[in-house]
Amino acid sequence: MNWKPNTFSKFANDANVRGVFFQVVLIATLVFFFFWLTDNTLTNLSNQGKSLGFAFLSGTAGFQISQTFGTWLFDYQVGTSTYLDVYFIGIANTLLVAVLGIVAATVIGFTLGIMRLSNNIVFRAFATTYIEMLRNIPILLQLFFWYFAVLRSLPGKRDKLEIIPDLIGVNITGLYLPAPVPQEGFVYSVIAFALAILLTFGVKQYAKRVQAQTGKITPVFLIGTALVISIPLITFLATNSPLDWNTPEFKDSGPMLRRGYQSGSGMILVPELIAVWLALSLYTAAFIAEIVRAGILAVSQGQTEAASALGIRPNYTLRLVVIPQAMRVIIPPLTSQYLNITKNSSLAVAIAYPELVSVFAGTALNQVGKEIEMIFMMMMVYLTVSLLTAAFMNWYNDRVKLVER
């Protein structure tokens, strides 16, 4: 090569210069792309005679939403409630399903995960079959199965299947439960409950101090459970049991059209909610079980052996050595499963459970036709939940990660 480096080639081979050049090109391409998109969108919108803006939110919504947690929370009335109310109803219903699903999936998933590690072959076989079957079948199919195949074969509207006679019953219109109706004075029981929880924390602090000074271990869990149950119960009884139960009313005589469960009596879980709940929790439980199993297996046998060498009793070994270390492995993927439940709750749109996607991006969008604004608002909800969870995860990871030199 008879070529000699000159000023220009030095400049052009500088990593910083190349980086800046590459990024400028990237930004320019993106700006051009978004400009093109915006331009197209504005042209298309003006061709359709539409404009951008959020004024539609204060318009009144003229459609029915089936009786759910959200409609109860925001007191939905056709003709007076606004589209903003519809938005909040959607969010409330989404969060309700997500919370219910998370609780159920955690319980089932942990049970199955531990069962899969059991020495008992019955447990192992059951858990393995469950996990392999449910996680290899799409959740939407499971949702359809629960809704269209199982819940549709329940007794008809004028009939019922009693789970607890006169208290809990189910038919094709939903699951009917007694509804608690707090009377005057019930608030004291609630206050007592809060106090009991605070007291338990106090006991925990005290137990910590006692253990640090004397080495004695106070059974905090037992004391706490006793406190949390007994104090509100005593208050409840002392204030003359201020809670009524509104039991579901079922008529099997009288005019044909009036038979069946009476509206306004008891509490109803609509079949859509039950189907979504079942599908979400049973499907996600299979994944949580695998996470739990991996977490427990990740704690090396040496930890248990070291603990018993130190003379720690088996149940304390589990509580103080194994579980804290397993949790470090379990929590991050577990959180992402919780996030998956929240996101998968949007599948409820397929069976018309009135959650965010179904009621806001479905029914309301069809009425108002503000695609860009409404889909943006809908996505913001999920994004917010995701980013909050991610922030929590980072915080938690910083707290529990191994401190290395």
Partner 1 sequence: MVSNGTRKERATATNNESAFIRQEDAPILPPPITSAGVAGWLNDNIFASMLDFSTLGAAVKSILMAIFTAFVAYIFFDQVYGLLDFAIFSAVWQDPEEQKRQVCWTIEQGGKLPNGWHGACWPYIIAKTKFILYGAYPNESLWRVNSTYLLGAILLVWVMIDRLPYRKLVGAVLLTIYPIFATVMLTGGGFGLSQFSVGVNTIIGLALISLGRAGKMGWITGPFLDLSKMAGVAGWFFIFFAAALVSVGVDFDLSKVDTRDWGGLLITLVVATTAIVVSLPLGILLALGRRSSLPVARTLSIIFIEFWRGVPLITVLFMASVMIPLFMPEGVNFDSLLRALIGVTLWQSAYMAEVIRGGLQAIDKGQYEGADAVGLSYWQSMRLIILPQALTRVLPGIVNTIISVFKDTSLVSIVGLFDLLGATQATIADAAWSTPVQASTGYLVVALIFFVFCFGMSRYSMYIERKLDRGH
By CB under 8 A, name the binding residues for partner 1.
Answer: 1, 3, 5, 8-9, 12-13, 19, 22-23, 26-27, 30, 37, 40-41, 43-45, 47, 115, 118-123, 125-126, 129, 132-133, 135-141, 144-145, 148-149, 152-153, 343-344, 346-347, 349-350, 357, 361, 365, 371-372, 375, 378-379, 382-383, 386-387, 390
Q: Which CB atom, from 29 or from 60, has the smaller least distance to partner 1?
A: 29
Residue 144 CB, nearest distance to partner 1 (Å)? Answer: 6
Q: Which CB atom, from 58 or from 119, has the smaller least distance to partner 1?
A: 119
Residue 395 CB, nearest distance to partner 1 (Å)? Answer: 17
CA dist., res. 146 & res. 368, Å (int): 32
CA dist., res. 7 & res. 10, Å (int): 5
Helix (H) or strand (E) holding 59: none
Q: Which CB atom, from 2 or from 214, has the smaller least distance to partner 1?
A: 2
Q: Which CB atom, from 22 or from 206, has the smaller least distance to partner 1?
A: 22
CA dist., res. 105 & res. 289, Å (int): 9
Residue 225 CB, nearest distance to partner 1 (Å)? Answer: 18
Residue 315 CB, nearest distance to partner 1 (Å)? Answer: 11
Residue 9 CB, nearest distance to partner 1 (Å)? Answer: 5
For 132, residues 6+ apart whose C-beta sits below 8 A from its C-beta are none
| DSSP state letter for 81 | S
Residue 311 CB, nearest distance to partner 1 (Å)? Answer: 21
How large is the C-alpha radius of gyration of the chain?
A: 29
| Backbone dihedral angles phi then psi of residue 171, each to the nearest 5 degrees | -145, -170
Question: Six-digit token pair at 192?
Answer: 């007592």
Residue 392 CB, nearest distance to partner 1 (Å)? Answer: 14
CA dist., res. 264 & res. 249, Å (int): 9
- Contact (Cβ atoms closer than 8 angstroms) between residue 41 and residue 372: yes
| Backbone dihedral angles phi then psi of residue 52, each to the nearest 5 degrees | -90, 150
Residue tagged 């991050």 (tokens): 332
| Backbone dihedral angles phi then psi of residue 120, each to the nearest 5 degrees | -80, 120
Q: Which CB atom, from 6 or from 253, has the smaller least distance to partner 1?
A: 6
CA dist., res. 183 & res. 167, Å (int): 20
Q: Which CB atom, from 226 or from 383, has the smaller least distance to partner 1?
A: 383
| DSSP state letter for 354 | -
Q: Which CB atom, from 34 or from 245, has the smaller least distance to partner 1?
A: 34
Residue 244 CB, nearest distance to partner 1 (Å)? Answer: 36
Q: Which CB atom, from 166 or from 371, has the smaller least distance to partner 1?
A: 371
For 161, residues 6+ apart whose C-beta sits below 8 A from its C-beta are 154, 155, 169, 170, 171
